[in-house]
A and B are shown apart, each in its own frame.
Chain A
Amino acid sequence: MRAGGKVLGLISRDRLITDSKTVLITIASLIVFIATWFAISIYSNLAYIPPPDKVAVAFFDSFTHKDISLGTNMWDNIFASLGRFGIGFVMAFLLALPLGLAMGYFKLAQLFINPIVEIFRPIPPIAWVPIFLLIFGLFWGPVVVIFLGVLFPLLSNIIFGVKSVDKPLIDAAKTLGANRLQLFTKVILPYTIPFIMAGITIGLGIGWMCIVAAEMIGAVGGGVGFYINFMKDIGRFDFMYAGMVVIAILGLVTVGASRYVENKLNSRMGVK
């Protein structure tokens, strides 16, 4: 008993030490970052490098007060971005799912569609912004950019998922009497779900980058990207940085949430 207690005590103490070490190093890293930022801001004495405390004040201010020249606060811009993001994302999902499943399942579909996909895939979604704004206008232009950004990673993940279905699982389902449709709904589709979820996580990250870039070039009804660019134009650099912080937080939250769902789902699906 004594020996056991001792060992247990040691383990927990070890873990405590590593945990507090991690926290300490993280704090040290953040302190170094903020101190460097302060130093650069003070020594450069440039308007477009405000010190972190000013940015922090602007950050909170942007949520609580409507900007006089814009007539909106940060929440309004976040919701504008999220709305656009959501529409583009859902559109991409609705196309990628049937297309990816078909391309993974039917060789002919893959052979026919793949060349077209391969032509468009290497073009960064942002390169489409100018022409999309012309064609689709200031609201739908950025939406279509997000759509493209999300589409390709999602598509390739779904195709990969369908193609990697365990052959013995298909055999087992066949010997249990499954027809072609049941093979699809009861084996291939559930098998692909974790791959779809991984594609969603990657797509969220890419879509988020697309939206900011697209909104900077033009957006109707605001948006965080638009907000950042606008604040730069009127010389309110502390608010510009506040917008950038918002983008970082939103990106972390959406990708983090998606990853959380992905892990939850994987353990439910028996994928470890």
Chain B
Amino acid sequence: MTLKITDLVKKFPKEEGELIAIENFNLEIKDREFVCVLGPSGCGKTTLLRIVAGLETKTSGSLHLDGREIMGPGSDRGMVFQEFALFPWRTVRRNIEFGLEIGKMPSAEKKRISDEYITLVGLKGFEDSHPYELSGGMKQRVGIARALANNPAVLLMDEPFGALDAQTRNMMQKELLRIWEQTMKTVMFITHSVDEACYLADRIVVMTSRPGTVKEIFTIDWPRPRDRASVEFAALRKKILAELEREVYDSSSGSVRP
């Protein structure tokens, strides 16, 4: 499923005038591609993802999923949230079944699918637990399973591991790649971690500071799993970090971008 973002602009009204959050953003994400969007904080990367999800309106530009224009939220785009956003009164299974329930799926079918995704994300034995009984990493496994169970064309991930500790985070990245390889979804992944982007992505889109637009795109064709300790990894990380640092410096010193 190809996701095409063309000349996207997002402005927020302010007391005086308006705030341009995203300006002329163009990106095409190919079928089964894993794209990380990286940018300094406040660059509008989360806003961008929320517009793709249909949770936020765009000011101008267009969004197409396989040629069809995106209008508002829809089950063809699954989203995983940084704060997990699990329904606290529902068990793991019932959280994962939420989208299926919305789609009025018969219960035998629902159970079959939720079983499948519970196994996929490694939550067997926790079907009947409530979110408060789970660790952060397990909560996000539920979040991923819930989004995938709805069989979306694209998986939108908004800093999904941002609330996890470093070790859990590394493990979840590995797990996500395993899950991605098994489901072969198109993924748009927002992060502010260069390391995470280098580890996960087919392509890394580096955004400028506000107003956010594409600054540079890095294509990574290394096989997975990637070695964080390798020389190429370090070199790429250094290059992207330098890019980001310049971006933050430019915007904080108030200089005008050419």
Mark A residues whose CB is within 8 Å of B. Answer: 166, 168-169, 171-178, 182, 186-187, 190-191, 193, 268-272
Contact = CB atoms under 8 A, between A and B. Distances in A.
B61 interface: no
Given A172-B146, A177-B99, 10 more contacts: A172-B86, A173-B102, A174-B54, A176-B99, A177-B73, A177-B103, A186-B101, A186-B102, A190-B89, A270-B132
Contact of A177 (B86, B102, B132): B102
A175 B89 contact: no
Contacts of B53: 171, 175
A190 B91 CA distance: 13
Interface string B93-127: 00000110111000000000000000000000000
13 contacts: A166-B85, A169-B87, A171-B55, A172-B86, A172-B87, A172-B98, A175-B53, A175-B147, A176-B98, A176-B150, A190-B87, A270-B88, A270-B130
A173 B146 CA distance: 11
Nearest to B90: A270
Contacts of B55: 171, 174-175
Contacts, number: 72
Contacts of B130: 270
Interface string B49-68: 01001110000000000000
A271 to B, nearest CB: 6
Interface majority SS (helix, strand, loop, mixed), chain A: helix
A269 B79 contact: no
Contacts of A175: 53-55, 73, 75, 77-79, 147, 156
A222 to B, nearest CB: 42
Given A171-B81, A174-B55, A186 B98 contact: yes
Contacts of B77: 175
A174 B156 CA distance: 13
A39 to B, nearest CB: 52
B74 interface: yes
Given A174-B55, A186-B102, A168 B88 contact: no
Nearest to B133: A270
B137 interface: no
Pick from B103, B130, B131 the residue with the most CB of A within 10 Å. B130
B102 A172 contact: no
B175 interface: no
Contacts of B85: 166, 168-169, 171-172
A187 B89 CA distance: 10
B31 interface: no
Contacts of B50: 171
B83 interface: yes
A171 B156 CA distance: 13
A268 B89 contact: yes
The 8 nearest A-B residue pairs measured at CB:
A177-B75, A270-B88, A168-B85, A176-B99, A269-B89, A172-B85, A175-B79, A270-B130
Contact of A176 (B89, B102, B156): B102
Given A269-B88, A270-B89, A172 B81 contact: yes
Nearest to A190: B89
A269 B146 CA distance: 19
Contact of A172 (B54, B79, B132): B79
A177 B74 contact: yes
B165 to A, nearest CB: 21
